[in-house]
Structure 1
């Protein structure tokens, strides 16, 4: 029997992969460019290469692997092992990921949505340990969530549960690629926050960020908001506050609907920490049902960029155990 688990976190720009021992301690970890523009076959080849490199670095062979788990963005069919569509991977439609990797390595392979894999990691090893009702919200390029209800991962009819980013906040708002408009993720995300800042600048608002980018708003990045916030920049503080308040409105709805005990905020934007979360908590306190709101705390994720790989490895390991019971 193999002794190692491999977890892969597939993103539009980067492939993160890690090899773990039976105690889920990382033996080897790596990050490679996805090179998504070259198409699905090339991306699969990049995944094969990453797995082989992990084995080489660890001094092992394919037979030393117990299983492989992959977190993949977008819509997928876990049972068939097919990635149906991923918006950040050009041409990525109906890709038989499990079949391709099993054919190459001859070990059990399992896939799930990348946000749920991150949630699985935080649930097993991070800020969600010991909780039976929780939500992981990832605030990055977009906005997504994974849900644990009464100790089980919530999937829904088409494995689409948790699309908090498409919660409609405005009847007529920013257009969304889902076909609707005013979706929460169009405002609460790295892209959304930058767009809010640029809109406020066009309305006459000023920020030190304009000096940093020499007036070229296309060069503004979300992390600049935290830096400007710490310098006391009024517009950056305003945008951070308004973004947190809007996320709090969405989370109040989630709390009233699902009654979680803990909400974990992860993703790249979560590095803003309490600059963002203080407004989130204040907004939730004002809008959630008293009993449900008081029973739920909102915390920052603990595992950072490692959540996706360790979550994918743990998910695959748990699936293997279930099959052998």
Structure 2
């Protein structure tokens, strides 16, 4: 009889959920509003509601579910199952996600950071299949990252290894919420690129985007910059090139330190494709150690917005496999 895995991607706005067969083919995927403002207990209830909906719609009884993985933003302990803090979730402190799920399900639940479950997804089911040394970065409102070294995901002492987004790039650069300044993520995230664009407008530069927003700079988005680039807008092309170059310098450090054979770029900004990635590749090629950079490919993520749910299910599968508790091969 077929068995299944569940994957949950917990976001501040939506909860994405998926149920997958043993080949990690999707049986059912959907999302529901998180309703984060209503507090931790309500959010945990919404996770259970997402599980109920996808299993009911897929007509899969819970006793055929092997396990469930949940990707949670912020700081957590994947061993104890406690989420210490999660941004955009009011009153979310020391939430014991795994224990709360145990009250309702007989199958085991595992949690990990949302970026690392994306890493599991791309590594095991996406662009990283077949690689043992790789780095995933996600470019959205910030820069998240995860690392696989010699076939193992790196966690670090406090489960926070791989904070590439907080690599210091400028001694007196833009302030960062981490308490430092000049962090890479403050320049190459969607917000960072938009801020670069706005700074150049204040210097007197002009762009077609100003006609789109009627000079309301707060309406400018990274997507607009990408679209204006396609139309040959000089400022948008300059900002995209500059953003890719800064990211390339950051990743040159990553290549020198970790010597990966693959870097996967995901998140919303990855949709820009080679407009962003070509200057990244060029900068890494010219500034990283030659032997290391010659062995490293930089590619766009394959799974898109599905990486979190597929990755969470893959992560749970790997945990059960390590423990020898899988009922299917």
TM-score (structure 1 length as normaliser): 0.98
What do residues 198-223 of structure 1 show as CA deviations (whole Å, max 9, x unaligned)? Answer: 11111111111111111111111211
Structure 1 partner of 2:111: 111
- Counting only pairs closer than 5 Å after superposition, residues 285-304 of structure 1 correspond to structure 2 as 285-304=285-304
Structure 2 unaligned residues grouped into runs of 5+? none
Cα distance, 1:225 vs structure 2:
1.0
- Counting only pairs closer than 5 Å after superposition, residues 47-126 of structure 1 correspond to structure 2 as 47-126=47-126
Cα distance, 1:2 vs structure 2:
7.5
Asked whether the equivalents of residues 226 and 236 of structure 1 are also in contact (C-alpha less than 8 Å), the reply is: yes
Asked whether the equivalents of residues 244 and 280 of structure 1 are also in contact (C-alpha less than 8 Å), the reply is: yes
Structure 2 partner of 1:252: 252
- Counting only pairs closer than 5 Å after superposition, residues 120-139 of structure 1 correspond to structure 2 as 120-139=120-139
Determine the C-alpha separation between the residues in 1 that align with 2:176 and 2:203: 23
Cα distance, 1:120 vs structure 2:
0.6
RMSD of aligned residue pairs (Cα, Å): 1.2
Cα distance, 1:6 vs structure 2:
0.5
Asked whether the equivalents of residues 262 and 298 of structure 1 are also in contact (C-alpha less than 8 Å), the reply is: yes
Secondary structure of residue in 2 paired with 1:270 = helix
Determine the C-alpha separation between the residues in 2 that align with 1:116 and 1:143: 13
Distance 1:180 1:12, change over 3 A: same
Asked whether the equivalents of residues 266 and 301 of structure 2 are also in contact (C-alpha less than 8 Å), the reply is: yes
Determine the C-alpha separation between the residues in 1 that align with 2:11 and 2:166: 20
Structure 2 partner of 1:207: 207
Asked whether the equivalents of residues 74 and 86 of structure 2 are also in contact (C-alpha less than 8 Å), the reply is: yes
Asked whether the equivalents of residues 8 and 309 of structure 2 are also in contact (C-alpha less than 8 Å), the reply is: yes
Determine the C-alpha separation between the residues in 2 that align with 1:121 and 1:80: 22
Structure 1 partner of 2:158: 158
The answer to whether residue 6 in structure 2 is matched with residue 6 in structure 1 is yes
Secondary structure of residue in 1 paired with 2:323 = helix
Cα distance, 1:61 vs structure 2:
2.4
Secondary structure of residue in 2 paired with 1:112 = strand
Secondary structure of residue in 2 paired with 1:324 = coil
Structure 1 unaligned residues grouped into runs of 5+? none
Determine the C-alpha separation between the residues in 1 that align with 2:320 and 2:265: 29
Determine the C-alpha separation between the residues in 1 that align with 2:68 and 2:27: 15
Structure 2 partner of 1:32: 32
Asked whether the equivalents of residues 2 and 65 of structure 1 are also in contact (C-alpha less than 8 Å), the reply is: no
Q: Which runs of 4+ in 1 moved over 6 A?
A: none
What do residues 123-148 of structure 1 show as CA deviations (whole Å, max 9, x unaligned)? Answer: 11111111110001111111011100
Determine the C-alpha separation between the residues in 2 that align with 1:263 and 1:160: 19
Asked whether the equivalents of residues 6 and 19 of structure 1 are also in contact (C-alpha less than 8 Å), the reply is: yes
Cα distance, 1:38 vs structure 2:
1.8
Determine the C-alpha separation between the residues in 2 that align with 1:35 and 1:205: 41
Asked whether the equivalents of residues 70 and 111 of structure 1 are also in contact (C-alpha less than 8 Å), the reply is: yes
Secondary structure of residue in 2 paired with 1:12 = coil
What do residues 56-76 of structure 1 show as CA deviations (whole Å, max 9, x unaligned)? Answer: 101122222110001111110
Asked whether the equivalents of residues 86 and 93 of structure 2 are also in contact (C-alpha less than 8 Å), the reply is: yes
Asked whether the equivalents of residues 136 and 263 of structure 1 are also in contact (C-alpha less than 8 Å), the reply is: yes
Determine the C-alpha separation between the residues in 1 that align with 2:119 and 2:180: 26
Give the stretch that moved more between structures: 54-63 or 158-167: 54-63
Give the stretch that moved more between structures: 125-134 or 61-70: 61-70
